[in-house]
Amino acid sequence: MDLYEIRGGRLDVIAEEGEPSRESTTMETYNVVAGSGGRTARDVSTFQRFSVGTNESLRFEPCEDSTPSPTGAEDGCGDDDDVFKEEDTESDINSIRNRLQGKVVEMENFAGHLEEIFLTVEENFGRQEQHLEQHYNDVLQTLSQRYDERAAALEEEKKSKLEALYNQLLACGRALDSSKELIESAQEVYRSQDKRLFLKTVMPTIKRIEEYAKEDVDLTLATHLEFNTPLADLSDVKTMMDSINVVPAPSAPVINPQMPNSATQTSLRVCWSLFSDDTVEYYELYYRPVLEDTPADSTCAPHESKVKVKETHCTVADLLPNAQYELWVTATNTTGISPASEKALYMTVPSPPVIKQRECTSCPEAALIRWDSGNTNPVDSYTVELSETGTDGTESSITESIVAVPTCQCLIQLQAGRRYLISVRAVNIGGPSDRSEVITVSTTGTFFHLLEDTAHPCLSISEDGFTIFYGDEELPISAMALDDNTFFTRCVAVLGDLIPVRGRHYWEVEVDDGTEFRIGVAYEDMERNTYLGANSSSWCMRHILSPTRHKYEFLHNGWSPDLRITVNPVRIGVALDYDRGTLSFFNVNLEQHLHTFHCNFQNHIQPCFSLDNPGALTVHNGIEAPEYAFM
């Protein structure tokens, strides 16, 4: 890199020692300022960015507003001209040097490329040599086998011919012996001097000679002297010789296991490998969905699809979300088709979960988010994403993630007095799903909905989940007969879904002064066939109408202190403090404290609301607790 500085009103170039970098060099824009004597310094020259590449020289292009003199002096100064000439020479030298270095880099890269090609050619030649040697050994083995078979056949034929000739020779010997014996017998009869003996023996001898003369003597050879030389069947040898220049059929590919994050909701990226010696023109990837409820009958098997590709990877599209697919692949060339690979199982990304807003609760320190998976197949885990929003509703660019959530709910620690945007993703081996619909969570105060499955049959709940109504309808006999600890059967009440976080919680209740009610808290396992405040697992404020006045009781385990409230509260504040073990009630309109229960709550408790006569009751939550609530 070159360093620029001003010395005595002149622009000097200082070249740093050492080998310059081979990579392209980029210089920022510089403003060079010089002053001479009492002159005011002014901008002399502004150089544009320049780069040093392999195919371009080093050039300085002055801006349109720049002046030709780097020192601000008048043109015509001889010393300055000499300086510019030296600078031009050094610039040319640097330019030539940079171009030479670029050429060196190109030559080195080209040499490296040639070396790679050389190694590839050598490797391919080695494989071809091994292939040719293998074919040569196979041909020699086949010819040797044919020679051994032919030699064995000739040996058998030779043995057979010799045995036949030997048997014929034995027969000829026996015939000669018989003829010799007969001739000798006839000579003895002829030489006999006893005429009576001659007459007695001559007739049998003549008869024997006649019989012998009648016998046909086979004088032809029993076998042919020529050997049978059939043409050798060397078609397989010819095929092997021809196959030296023929590409063999590929072996079965090996399909790779699914890699993480290799899928989308409707697509899969599949990869496989093949032996390096095999030559392949194209691959065929087969896939079909795996359905758990598919019967064993093959006629009901899912449809099988096929994709033809030339690479060892393929992206299969138009698939079902969160579905398991069975995949296998074959390789094909001019010789034939390989066997199919072993089947592999891949999964597409799950569908986005569905957040259950009516079951999400929060408080100033945390939020409990619940959702439905939205998928028929199980997922590996879930990821909860949250980002903070500003007062103007703009979303923060920072998104926090809670990963590896195993179930369909997550308790998140938050900061008080903030607003958050929260979404959920489902994750499996294929990757994360699209995010769910975003919900807004405020940590200003405690927020919860009413638990409809705990409501007494006579109660109805509004669509927003915050108002309960008790009508004039009589309770059905079927509902009265049920002995179920899920919903209230005697007390016309309903529980609230308070977040299970120990700390401070505050909510308010609005009710007409002509309605009898009970509001308070209770353990979740409270008996549903008793009244609120009548046992040791519930605490409540009760309003009773009498002909003369409004009576208020603060009940726990059936007992209430003797208190008188002169102003009927229409909006009642309830403050729960786990740490201090207190449950307080307030008249919100007057900011008046009504009563406080002191109890060490061992387990998490739930808000509870009850109507003792027809009327309506509305819960207000998600609001900031007033200062007097936890004084």
Compute φ and ψ for 184, nearest 5 degrees: -60, -40
Rounded Cα gap, residues 515 and 615, in angstroms: 6
Output the pLDDT for position 73: 39
In a domain, 316, yes or no: yes
Let me know: does 557 contact 564? Beta carbons within 8 Å.
Answer: no
Let me know: does 263 contact 269? Beta carbons within 8 Å.
Answer: yes
Rounded Cα gap, residues 316 and 319, in angstroms: 8
Amino acid, single-letter form, for residue 388: E
Output the pLDDT for position 365: 93
Q: Are residues 492 and 596 in the same domain?
A: yes
Distances (CA, A) of 363 to 153, 357, 438, 444: 100, 15, 18, 7
- Comparing CA positions, the residue from 379, 419, 421 lying closest to residue 403 is 379
In a domain, 338, yes or no: yes
Number of Cβ within a 10 Å radius of residue 537: 18
Name, in order, each residue with C-beta under 8 angstroms of 536's C-beta and a sequence gap of 6 or more: 556, 557
Instruction: Tell me which residue has tokens 């207190």.
Output: 582
CATH number of the domain that residue 471 is part of: 2.60.120.920
Q: What is the greatest pairwise CA distance in the chain?
A: 188
Q: Which residues of the chain have pLDDT under 70?
A: 1-84, 120, 124, 127, 217-219, 222, 229-233, 237, 240-247, 276, 293-301, 393, 473-487
Sequential DSSP letters for 576-591: EETTTTEEEEEETTTT
Q: Are residues 126 and 181 in the same domain?
A: yes
Task: Kindly state the DSSP code that residue 111 receives in the 8-state scheme.
Answer: H
Q: Are residues 192 and 258 in the same domain?
A: no
Provide, for the chain, the percentages of residues in helix, strand and coil under a 3-state DSSP scheme, each rounded to the nearest 5.
25, 30, 45
Q: Are residues 464 and 611 in the same domain?
A: yes
Rounded Cα gap, residues 429 and 264, in angstroms: 11
Last residue of one domain, picked from the residues 384, 411, 443: 443
Q: Are residues 471 and 592 in the same domain?
A: yes
Q: Are residues 574 and 512 in the same domain?
A: yes
Output the pLDDT for position 53: 39
Let me know: does 489 contact 610? Beta carbons within 8 Å.
Answer: no
Q: Are residues 456 and 603 in the same domain?
A: yes
Distances (CA, A) of 565 to 275, 476, 549, 610, 615: 90, 36, 10, 20, 21
Tokens of 624: 């900031």
Q: Are residues 505 and 544 in the same domain?
A: yes
Containing structural domain, residue 404? 354-443
Tokens of 180: 């010799």
Q: How deeply is 436 buried, as exposed, middle or buried, from its count of CB atoms within 10 A (0-12, 13-18, 19+)?
A: buried
Angle, vertex CA 321, rays to CA 315 and CA 325, nearest 5:
60
**Distance, C-alpha 318 to centroid of its chain:** 17
In a domain, 15, yes or no: no
Q: Are residues 611 and 466 in the same domain?
A: yes
Q: Are residues 457 and 544 in the same domain?
A: yes
In a domain, 169, yes or no: yes
Q: How deeply is 286 buried, as exposed, middle or buried, from its count of CB atoms within 10 A (0-12, 13-18, 19+)?
A: middle
198: three-class secondary structure by DSSP? helix
Let me know: does 615 contact 492? Beta carbons within 8 Å.
Answer: no
Q: Are residues 334 and 364 in the same domain?
A: no
Tokens of 9: 């009103």
Which run of H or of E encompasses 167?
A: helix 78-191
Output the pLDDT for position 242: 65
pLDDT tens-digit series, residues 62-108? 444 444 443 343 444 455 566 567 778 888 898 898 899 989 998 99
Output the pLDDT for position 496: 93
CATH number of the domain that residue 407 is part of: 2.60.40.10
pLDDT tens-digit series, residues 478-509? 444 445 556 677 788 899 999 999 999 999 99
Sequential DSSP letters for 318-376: S--TT-EEEEEEEEE-SS-BPPPPPPEEEEPPPPPPEE-GGG-EEETTEEEEEEE---S
Strand 381-389, strand 282-289: pairing? unpaired
Distances (CA, A) of 529 to 465, 480, 483, 532, 544: 23, 10, 8, 10, 20
Rounded Cα gap, residues 584 and 593, in angstroms: 8
Rounded Cα gap, residues 556 and 196, in angstroms: 167
In a domain, 541, yes or no: yes
Name, in order, each residue with C-beta under 8 angstroms of 476's C-beta and a sequence gap of 6 or more: 457
Amino acid, single-letter form, for residue 26: T
Q: Are residues 509 and 613 in the same domain?
A: yes
- Comparing CA positions, the residue from 511, 502, 503 lying closest to residue 630 is 503
Output the pLDDT for position 245: 60
Strand 605-611, strand 381-389: pairing? unpaired
Rounded Cα gap, residues 240 and 99, in angstroms: 57
Amino acid, single-letter form, for residue 95: S
- Comparing CA positions, the residue from 433, 413, 416, 412 lying closest to residue 424 is 433
Last residue of one domain, picked from the residues 151, 183, 213: 213
In total, how many domains does the chain have?
Answer: 4
Last residue of one domain, picked from the residues 443, 475, 509: 443
In a domain, 193, yes or no: yes
Q: Is the pTM of this model over 0.85?
A: no
In a domain, 141, yes or no: yes
In a domain, 227, yes or no: no
